[in-house]
């Protein structure tokens, strides 16, 4: 490393500019110098906080980074803080039955709670309204207290009530989660199980996954959040023997103390093409093409203060207390660490320090003069260094009527070139450069030119009608447009549980006896993490156990059949509509009427009110009424209603069960009305966006015309 320009020292005005400049140096080396990310490193003096903070800034700037487990200040990572806040609150609830107002508000503002500041205010308004309607003369407590009380126990809105608003929906979900976690804590559940419950209870993991796979700059942040969660699970997995609220407290203390062993497997994973952020100690024995040194301020590097803190833990050696280092020895050690860090660069070394004219930051380190090169003052350039920034700049130039025609034409030519670039599978490399992708330039879609749909008959699936009516746009993008991610291994759980439950009913064998078979199947599923596979397996066994409780306690006089397919031909508003589906279970109740059963393996149960007009159950009942199962029932059509059994949602006496009353024995019903509306949407191809409480977890929120700012705000 002796050619000209191989060593550079740069001075920037503040810490914000320092992180921006480092991001710029790394991006230049990657984009213009052709270096792989993994050939680049940033070395900063010891301190997990500093490493973590720098990693956060670089991630936010779109640089993929990796940190060793013991240099990742887990407690500084937002997703870790948020998960721990939920666990801590649940432990508090289990121990004292109370939540403090600021804690309650903070919880609802985490991604698990899903509200922002505005949402929180709207929630408070709705609760106040409900409280004053319930008792007009009552003294209303402050908003925070009202929210905290409602999170602890339902006073103003029950879990089973229809929420009618995103905010109340968020409150109910958070209350369910806290209650379930507090219940598990009281039962002395172990820490990984508690953590898994908190992590998997909402759509947050799915949102992060979608974001991470999107391949945009914000994906870097999502990857980093997922890494932090994985590191937290690793840590929790090592806390064997920790249970209940004592275990939660131990985990919190562990995270705060940063006693995390290095995860060398992840650190050395060659598939992770990312910039290493390390301390000099961890840089030992490694080299990179480009090394950026940072943290070069007096007092930090060299660190002049006494190390080891009040307890002087640094003096503890294998043979007891050692004599303290002299200042000269300490300075020599700091210099050695600096030289070690500088020598890690194979081709280029850049040292970045801050010279703060306001004097709030210490002087640049004395070590930079020892590199023997001139100091250059730098400010981060405002030129774009990411593809998105470049496209945005060109678009602004191309459409800015105040610029010269020649400049606008040049910008348009660059955009056209970018829009033509393809990868080796023919996919656009810069889709944002194509004007066809820009908002507001397209005409309104002529539904007559949409994907072709058979005029007659209209075909509907019994399990999809509800999705069509809830939001036609979402249904279309997920279904016909095939915009949904393919089934992942976790979704196999539902299919397997359904199959085993059906077999259990036919063979009259308890479903739990199939857990051994389930274990054999499970061992062949390609789960990426053993703890996740184990958690999923335990949930599947729990679902089978819940089924056994349900099957033994209900009045199931006689089984007609399981997994029964049907087809229903209807004439609705002048259209022929064919509805098909499969009923999980059809049985005869104690009054000799036919009852439809549907099993669900989701983590949340609908409320009683929601199930009253649950389309899927209504359609199955209609199929029974119209004779679709005559062959199996011997012509009996009298309805005894329907039930939905939530096998993964435990209640005191078995799984959560919701019932739907029998349909009228003849004539039009609410089911006909819903089917008519769904058929109308399919026939007219009017896939409009319908705002609903589940918009929060919708994968197609980005760009949804029904959301504010085109859905770009989370």
Retrieve residue 397's tokens.
Answer: 């130039």
Q: How far is the CB of 470 from ligand SF4 (least distance, A)?
A: 7
CA 560 – CA 572 distance, rounded (Å): 29
Bridge partners of residue 654, in order along the sequence:
651
Residue 476 binds to ligand SF4 (criterion: CB under 6 A): no
> What kind and span of H or E run contains 585?
strand 575-588
Q: Cβ neighbours of residue 582 under 8 Å, at least 6 residues apart?
A: 563, 564, 565, 566
Closest CA to 551 of 585, 592, 517, 591: 585
- Identify which of residues 502 and 706 has a Cβ nearer to ligand SF4 in the complex: 706
- The residues, ordered by sequence, that sit 6+ positions from 519 with a Cβ below 8 Å of its Cβ are 537
238, 152 Cβ separation under 8 angstroms: no
State which residue, 223 or 474, has the beta carbon closest to ligand SF4.
474
From residue 333, how far is each of 216, 292, 299, 319, 336 by CA, in Å? 42, 20, 14, 21, 5
Region near ligand SF4 per CB under 6 A, out of 92-100, 301-309, 594-602, 703-711: 703-711
* Tokens 């680049």, residue located: 40
Nearest approach in angstroms of CB 711 to ligand SF4 is 6
Contact, 99 vs 207, CB < 8 A?
A: no
The single residue among 473, 545, 585, 658 that binds ligand SF4, judged by CB under 6 A, is 473
Window 652-691: contact mask with ligand SF4 (x via CB under 6 A): -------------------------------------xxx
Which among 656, 654, 583 is positioned nearest to 617, based on CA atoms?
583
Q: What is the CA radius of gyration of the chain?
A: 31
Name which of 606 and 701 has its Cβ closer to ligand SF4: 701
Q: Is 9 in the site for ligand SF4 (CB under 6 A)?
A: no
Give me the least distance between CB of 209 and ligand SF4, in Å please.
17
Note whether 609 binds ligand SF4 by CB under 6 A: no
Q: How many CA atoms lie within 13 A of 441 on its CB side?
A: 7
* CB-CB contact of 596 with 621 (8 Å): yes
Tokens (6 digits) for 247: 């275990």
Q: Quote the least distance from Cβ 213 to ligand SF4, whole Å.
A: 18
Q: Residues 321-360: x/- map of binding to ligand SF4 (CB under 6 A)?
A: ----------------------------------------
Interface residue with ligand SF4 among 178, 194, 682, 698 (CB under 6 A) is 698
Burial (CB count within 10 angstroms: exposed 0-12, middle 13-18, buried 19+), residue 479: middle
Under rule CB under 6 A, residue 471 binds ligand SF4: yes
Region of 80-88, 141-149, 425-433, 702-710 interacting with ligand SF4 (CB under 6 A) = 702-710
Contacts of 232 (CB under 8 A, 6+ apart): 74, 77, 79, 80, 83, 84, 195, 255
Total chain residues near ligand SF4 (CB under 6 A): 14
Q: Measured from the CB atom, is 585 or 606 closer to ligand SF4? A: 606
Nearer to ligand SF4, 562 or 689 (CB): 689
Binding of residue 706 to ligand SF4 (CB under 6 A): yes
Report the distance separating Cα 523 and Cα 425, nearest Å.
34
Q: How far is the CB of 471 from ligand SF4 (least distance, A)?
A: 3
Least distance from ligand SF4 to the Cβ atom of residue 648, Å: 24
Q: Which stretch binds ligand SF4 (CB under 6 A): 253-261, 384-392, 423-431, 698-706?
A: 698-706
Q: Binding of ligand SF4 at residue 697 (CB under 6 A)?
A: no
Residue 104 makes contact with ligand SF4 by CB under 6 A:
no
Q: Under the criterion CB under 6 A, does residue 707 sit at the interface with ligand SF4?
A: yes
* Contact pick of 474, 498, 625, 674 for ligand SF4 (by CB under 6 A): 474
- For the CB of residue 656, give the shortest distance to ligand SF4 in the complex, in Å: 25
Contacting residues toward ligand SF4, per CB under 6 A: 471, 473-474, 689-692, 695, 698, 700-701, 704, 706-707
């Amino acid at each position: 490393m002796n050619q000209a320009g191989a060593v550079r020292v740069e001075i920037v005005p503040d810490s914000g500019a320092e992180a921006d400049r480092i991001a710029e140096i790394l991006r230049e080396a990657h984009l213009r110098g052709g270096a792989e990310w993994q050939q680049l490193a940033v070395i900063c003096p010891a301190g997990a906080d500093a490493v973590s903070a720098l990693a956060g800034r670089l991630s936010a700037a779109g640089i993929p980074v990796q940190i060793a487990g013991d240099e990742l200040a887990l407690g500084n990572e937002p997703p870790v803080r948020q998960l721990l806040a939920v666990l801590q609150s649940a432990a508090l609830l289990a121990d004292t039955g109370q939540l403090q107002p600021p804690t309650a508000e903070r919880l609802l503002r985490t991604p698990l709670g899903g509200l922002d500041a505005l949402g929180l205010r709207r929630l408070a308004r709705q609760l106040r309204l409900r409280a004053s309607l319930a008792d007009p003369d009552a003294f209303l407590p402050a908003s925070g207290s009202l929210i905290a009380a409602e999170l602890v126990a339902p006073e103003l809105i029950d879990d089973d009530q229809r929420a009618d608003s995103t905010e109340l929906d968020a409150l109910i979900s958070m209350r369910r989660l806290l209650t379930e976690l507090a219940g598990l804590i009281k039962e002395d559940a172990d820490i990984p199980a508690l953590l898994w419950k908190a992590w998997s209870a909402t759509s947050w993991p799915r949102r992060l996954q979608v974001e991470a796979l999107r391949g945009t700059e914000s994906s870097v942040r999502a990857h980093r959040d997922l890494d932090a969660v994985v590191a937290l699970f690793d840590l929790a997995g090592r806390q064997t023997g920790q249970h209940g609220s004592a275990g939660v407290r131990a985990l919190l203390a562990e995270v705060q103390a940063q006693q995390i062993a290095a995860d060398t497997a992840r650190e050395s994973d060659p598939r992770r093409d990312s910039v290493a952020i390390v301390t000099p100690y961890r840089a030992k024995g490694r080299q990179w093409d480009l090394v950026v040194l940072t943290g070069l301020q007096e007092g930090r590097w060299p660190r002049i203060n006494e190390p080891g803190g009040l307890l002087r833990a640094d003096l503890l050696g294998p043979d007891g207390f050692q004599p303290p280092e002299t200042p000269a020895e300490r300075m020599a050690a700091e210099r050695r660490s600096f030289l070690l860090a500088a020598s890690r660069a194979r081709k280029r070394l850049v040292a970045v320090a801050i010279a703060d004219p306001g004097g709030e930051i210490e002087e640049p380190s004395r070590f930079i003069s020892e590199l023997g090169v001139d100091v250059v003052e730098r400010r981060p350039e405002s030129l774009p260094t990411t593809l998105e920034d470049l496209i945005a700049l060109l678009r602004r130039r191309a459409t800015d009527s105040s610029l010269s025609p020649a400049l606008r034409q040049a910008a348009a030519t660059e955009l056209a070139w970018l829009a033509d670039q393809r990868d080796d599978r023919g996919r656009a490399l810069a889709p944002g450069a194509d004007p066809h992708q820009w908002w507001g330039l397209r005409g309104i879609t002529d539904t007559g030119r949409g994907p072709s749909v058979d005029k007659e008959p209209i075909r509907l699936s019994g399990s999809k009608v509800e999705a069509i009516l809830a939001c036609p746009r979402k249904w279309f993008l997920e279904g016909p447009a095939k915009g949904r991610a393919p089934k992942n291994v976790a979704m196999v759980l539902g299919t397997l549980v359904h199959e085993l439950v059906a077999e259990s009913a036919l063979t009259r064998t308890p479903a739990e006896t199939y857990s051994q078979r389930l274990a054999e199947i499970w061992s062949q599923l390609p789960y990426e993490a053993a703890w996740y596979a184990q958690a999923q397996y335990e949930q599947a066994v729990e679902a089978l156990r819940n089924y056994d409780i349900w099957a033994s306690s209900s009045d199931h006089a006689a089984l007609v059949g399981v997994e029964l397919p049907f087809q229903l031909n209807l004439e609705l508003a002048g259209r022929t509509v064919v509805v098909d589906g499969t009923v999980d279970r059809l049985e005869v109740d104690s009054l000799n009427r036919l009852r439809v059963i549907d099993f669900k393996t989701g983590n949340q149960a609908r409320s009683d009110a929601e199930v009253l007009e649950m389309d899927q159950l209504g359609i199955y009942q209609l199929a029974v009424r119209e004779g679709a199962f005559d062959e199996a029932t011997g012509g009996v059509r009298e309805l005894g209603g329907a039930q939905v059994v939530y096998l993964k949602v435990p209640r005191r006496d078995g799984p959560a069960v919701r019932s739907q009353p029998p349909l009228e024995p003849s004539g039009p019903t609410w089911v006909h009305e819903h089917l008519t509306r769904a058929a109308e949407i399919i026939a007219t191809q009017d896939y409009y966006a319908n705002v609903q409480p589940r918009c929060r977890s919708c994968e197609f929120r980005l760009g949804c015309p029904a959301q504010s700012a085109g859905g770009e705000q989370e």
